[in-house]
Amino acid sequence: MKKQHIQLSTADREYLEALVSKGNLAVKVYRRALGLLELDRGKTYGEVAHTLGVNHNTVSKWAQKYTVERLQCLQDKPRSGRPIEIDGVQRAKITALACSEAPEGYGRWTLRLLAQKAVELEYCDHISHTEVSDILKKTN
Do the Cβ atoms of 25 and 15 come closer than 8 Å?
no
- Does pTM surpass 0.75? no
Dihedral sign for Cα atoms in the order 81, 85, 89, 91: negative
CA distances from 72 to 5, 21, 48, 83 (A): 18, 19, 20, 25
> Is residue 104 predicted with pLDDT exceeding 50?
yes
pLDDT tens sequence across 27-80:
999 999 999 999 999 899 999 999 999 999 999 999 999 999 988 888 888 888
| Domain spans, the chain | 10-74, 88-137
